[in-house]
Structure 1
Amino acid sequence: MATPSAPCTTSTPTHPVDERRPLSKVLLFGIQHVLVMAATPISSVFLVSATLGLSAELTVDLLSAAFVLSGLGSLIQSLGPWRIGARLPFVMLPGGAPIVLFLAIAEQHGVRTATGAVILTGLFYFVVLPVFSRLLKYFPALVIGTMIVIVGVNLVKVGALLVTGRPGTPGFGDTTNLALGLATIGFTIAFYRLCSGLLRQLAVMLGLVAGTVLAFLLGSVDFGLVAEGGLLHAPQLLPFGTPQFSLIASLPLLLYSIASMAEATGQTVINAEAVGKEIDPRREVPGTIRGDAVTSFLGGFFGLPLLVTSGENIGIVRVTGVRSRFVTAAAGVVLVAIGFVAPVTRAISAIPSAVVGGTAMVVFAVITVLGVQMLGRARLDDHANTFICATAIALGLLPILIPGVYGGFPPNVRILLENGVAVGAFTAGVLNVLFHHVRLRPERLRSVQLRPVRLRSGQPRQKESHR
């Protein structure tokens, strides 16, 4: 009598991106991601605070909110609940271009209108998403690269103002601040040149720490406030008051969100390639964009600019070989914890603006380099592409290099023209459509063409034809 055999079971091997590792290792690798990307929310918040002249208390609130929302966004993108998020090892940070647009709206229409613009843009993502695939072809590397170059130049200028101060104001060009800013840049270069491995990847953070130590030795920083107050501090809801909503004022951010979705497409594809996972962009990219939309929508209620997926952590994935998305989820947990620990946020807020400005100049200049690299893939040997890029950069940099050039225009027109990023992106997009997607109509009547016709005698003659 035959003995029944046990049913054969086959198990599908777990892809490394979905691999669950021991909690201790996941947490350790997550902290490594946090250390690499922590300079970005710090620089972003200090940029907003210094430009808008916010108080120390409000700066601490924004810094706390930046860490918490970056953590929540990283969790959403890494875990992907309810088809919201990429389910890839992503982290989320306050974006470079959105900060410029946020500040432009805040300076012209008030910070409450700027927060309202962020909330509207978060909703706008969901409205545009169904038709985004049809618009994607209008935002190739040529358009996005041009926009990123303009963004980088603008951010370097804003970061430099943190070091020098604004022209015409007391303390402009203070030698101590200049020395601190330049020393911070020098420290960053030294760490990157002399260190290797993880320490080299942390060169920006180490330069920031070294600059802060130098400022402390020079008496330019006071950490006395670190011990004041409680141990825990939650981000404040609506720190600037009830948001105000204006579609005209929000237009620069709404236009940027389309380019941001194109950038999210590239980020998702590159991330998937880094972890060796085959994806269907039509299915995975909308999840990434939904994660951006939800996180940015929530961030608007805490006074933050748009938050976007970041490629900064992809280098860590490649170097360490750890591709699990639960590592960046652990990084999200660490970021949330940092946001609620008050002494940490107060210590960070005590860093002098000149030191942050030096760090910001290096970090934001990298954005310009990334834009140049993207333009390198845009076939600039084509004269049409060169013309598109040159025109967009010229018009985009005009209000950045010459502030107030559009001062004689009506306010509603000026908000668009004075936003160099929006002008450059719009110019590049329109010219790209005109040069590469719109074909000129041929003339109805062309020159007379002759074709041979055989005569009865066998000799050909020319017959006129209009084609």
Structure 2
Amino acid sequence: MSRVPFSFRPRVPGPRRSSETHPVDELPSTPTLLLYGLQHVMTMYAGLVAVPLIVGQALGLEFADITYLLAATLLVAGLATVLQTIGVWRIGARLPLVQGVSFAAVASMIAIGTGAGGGRGGLTLIFGATLVAGVVGFALAPLFRRLVRLFPPVVTGTVITVIGVSLLPVAVRWASGASDGEPGDPASVGLAGFTLLVIVLVYRFLPGFWSRIAILISLVAGTVLAAALGMADFSRIDEADWFAVSTPFHFGTPQFSFPAIVSMTVVMLVIMTETTADLLAVGEIVGRPADGRRIVAGLRADTLSTAVSGGLLNSFPASAFAQNVGLVAITGIRSRFVVAGGGAILLVLGLFPKLGAVIASVPAPVLGGAGLALFATVAASGIRALGKVDFDGHANLVIVAVALGLGVLPIAAPSFWEHFPEWFRTVFDSGISAAAVAAVALNLLFHGARGEGPIAAEAPVPVVEDDRRPVD
């Protein structure tokens, strides 16, 4: 039975499959693969480039250095996505999971960089801390295998719901025009509404193939309308270089500071918790539940990419992108090779910044309209997972209620934990990690170490022709 939370099930055109091939391992034709992969890239692009822009500006970098950081970020995201989806040895979950740079590390990176005086010197200190944190995370990844039992449906459903809810404010800000004009600007809201309407109409009236690329169609249609209304800015395309290669140690060799390493290692643990939640979410959506081995393999790809990113390729900690989990859910395209195609596109964009600037020119309200549908779909998937939970009695009800409350708290009041210690804020300023910690702790309190059984135990991972080797 399909795990896509919609009644329609349009098929991927031209996949090469056998009766034993799981949909995750279907290989569509090259044009189809690249088209769907581009949809993934456009969905996550704004969030991907935001981190180097924010950090670069906070450190007072020159425009050329910020541009270089952008190219390096795209390159690392592409490499990490290919590693996560295709896999090498016991590294990579082999699930349709997009990798990018993590927002969870932004505050710590700015603190580390500005504390070192900003500029390139601040960057090298960030890179050193990122390198060590990635190595530590890689070593600790197998421990998360033992923690899968702590994620029964009552926990995973709650965390998946919070992932979607925590992303919605981003879409709301984009839709309101907070990035391009005054918040609540009617023109921006109208543009976002038009984009959302296109998604609904495509799903309602267009057949199979077209419904699979509804997000891409809406982004293109919204951008065309924005250009006609004078609400699109394409000037940045001229400022971008045609070709750039991110060379190792471009900003200097990584520098190491114990406090910076400790801070980034704590952030790495938070990122690993969020990635575990994303692995469980996407596994549930595509019908290949993430068991302990697959989670370890996914975390290894995450942490190895982080170490290489900081140690060699001038970028920041890698993390799974939850918004693309929503794209998998809303489109029903479960092939990991489609996401790998998106990774290949990111690699190309990292080498040709002018192409990346074209996608970066999609107006924020257009992204907001698409984001409202995507991010809410993640929350709906969490609610669907909670439908499997037995709510007789009060135990599971209390677990969900308290974890949801703590998860929504930093969304509703971002400064709520402002006067608490930094180590505490690192965990609880993220609604996702706060909900995960609360749900796991309460599940242990009410149900003990055995809990109710993880989602991963609901069904065995299918064995397919091109992936018969164990993940770990």
By the TM > 0.5 criterion, same fold? yes
3-state secondary structure, aligned to 2:232:
coil
Whether contact under 8 Å (1:73, 1:292) holds in the other structure is yes
Q: CA deviation at 1:149?
A: 2.1
Q: Deviations over 1:260-311 (max 9, x none)?
A: 336536756876859xxxxx95655543332232234334554445333865
Are residues 171 and 123 of structure 1, via their aligned partners in 2, closer, same or farther at CA, if it must alter by over 3 Å? same
Question: Which stretch shows the higher mean deviation, 101-110 or 64-73?
Answer: 101-110
143, 146, 150: which is aligned to 1:131?
A: 143
Is the contact made by 2:164 and 2:377 (CA closer than 8 Å) also made in structure 1?
A: yes
Match in the other structure for 1:396: 407
SS in 2 for 1:38: helix
Read off the aligned partner of 2:262 and give its amino acid letter. Answer: L
The reply on whether 1:355 has 2:358 as its aligned counterpart is: no
Change (3 A) 1:14 1:180: closer
1:72 matched residue in structure 2: 79
| Maintained 8 Å contact 2:134/2:306 | yes
Partner Cα distance (1:361, 1:56) in 2: 32
For structure 1, list consecutive stretches of 5 or more residues without a partner in the other structure.
1-12, 275-279, 440-467
Alignment of 1:6-21 (within 5 A): none
- Residues in 2 aligned to 1:387 and 1:235: alpha-carbon distance in whole angstroms: 50
Match of 1:344 in 2: 355
SS in 2 for 1:94: strand
Aligned to 1:257: 272
How far 1:138 moved relative to its partner? 1.1
Which stretch has the larger CA shift, 180-189 or 295-304? 295-304
Aligned twin of 2:176 = 164
| 1:371 aligns to 2:378 (yes or no) | no
Secondary structure, in 3 states, of the residue corresponding to 1:129? helix
Cα 1:208–1:417 change in 2 (3 A) is same
In the alignment, which residue of structure 2 is the partner of 1:180? 191
**What corresponds to 2:9 in structure 1?**
none
What amino acid is the match of 1:346? A
- Please tell me whether residue 422 in structure 1 is matched to residue 433 in structure 2: yes
Q: Output the amino acid matched with 1:75.
A: V
Equivalent AA in structure 1 for residue 35 of structure 2: Q
Whichever of the two has the greater Rg, that structure is: 1
In structure 2, how many angstroms separate the alpha carbons of the residues matched to 1:107 and 1:205? 33
Sequence identity percentage: 27
Equivalent position of 1:35 in the other structure: 38
Q: From the superposition, tell whether residues 48 and 71 of structure 1 become closer, same or farther in structure 2 (CA, over 3 Å).
A: closer
**Cα pair distance change 1:371/1:14, threshold 3 Å:** closer
Residue in structure 2 matched with residue 207 of structure 1 by the alignment: 218
Aligned residue number for residue 247 of structure 1: 262
Compared CA separation, residues 40 and 80, structure 1 to 2 (3 A) = same
In 2: Cα distance, 1:59 partner to 1:188 partner: 34
2:149 pairs with 1:146: no
Larger displacement relative to structure 2 (170-179 or 369-378): 170-179
Matched, 1:333 2:348: no
Instruction: Give the Cα–Cα distance (whole angstroms) in 1 for the partners of residues 185 and 98 of structure 2.
Output: 35
Could you tell me whether the CA contact under 8 Å between 1:91 and 1:328 is conserved in 2? yes
Counterpart of 1:195 in structure 2 is: 206
The aligned residue for residue 99 of structure 2 is: 93
Q: CA deviation at 1:228?
A: 5.0
State the secondary structure of the residue aligned to 1:153: helix
CA contact (8 A) 1:70 1:335 kept: yes
State the Cα deviation string for residues 385-431 of structure 1 (Å, max 9, x = none).
11011011112222221232233434454444433332222111111
Q: Deviations over 1:159-183 (max 9, x none)?
A: 222333669x983333332232232
Aligned residue type for 1:45: L
> How many Å apart are 1:219 and its aligned residue?
1.3
Aligned to 1:297: 307
Matched residue of 2:146: which SS? Answer: helix
Q: Normalised by the size of structure 1, how large is the TM-score?
A: 0.71
- Aligned residue for 1:81, secondary structure, equals coil
Does the C-alpha gap of structure 1 residues 372 and 177 become closer, same or farther in structure 2, counting only changes over 3 Å?
Answer: same
Letter in 2 for 1:294: L
SS of residue matched to 1:39: helix
Aligned residues: 411
Give the match for residue 84 of structure 1: 91
Does the 8 Å CA contact 1:27/1:327 hold for their aligned counterparts?
Answer: no
The residue number in structure 2 matching 1:455 is none
* Cα separation, 2, equivalents of 1:46 and 1:114: 17
Q: Kindly provide the amino acid, as one letter, of the partner of residue 174 in structure 1.
A: D
After superposition, the C-alpha distances for 1:245-265 in whole angstroms (9 at most, x for unaligned) are: 242465354134145336536
Report the AA paired with residue 226 of structure 2.
Answer: A
| Aligned residue among 369, 394, 416 for 1:405 | 416
CA contact (8 A) 1:45 1:59 kept: no
Question: 2: distance between equivalents of 1:369 and 1:239?
Answer: 43
SS at match of 1:83: coil
Indicate the larger mover: 205-214 or 337-346: 337-346
Question: Counterpart amino acid of 1:133?
Answer: R
Contact 1:181 1:354 in 2 (8 A): yes
SS of the equivalent of 2:230 reads coil
Runs (5+) with no aligned partner, structure 2? 1-17, 115-122, 451-472
Distance 2:427 2:111 in 1: 11
In the alignment, the residues of structure 1 paired with residue 298 and residue 422 of structure 2 have an alpha-carbon distance, to the nearest angstrom, of 35
RMSD (Å), alpha carbons: 4.3
Q: Which amino acid aligns with 1:345?
A: G
- For normalisation by structure 2, the TM-score amounts to 0.71
Structure 2 Cα separation of the partners of residues 238 and 361 of structure 1:
39
Match of 1:436 among 437, 444, 447: 447
What is the letter of the counterpart of residue 40 of structure 1?
T
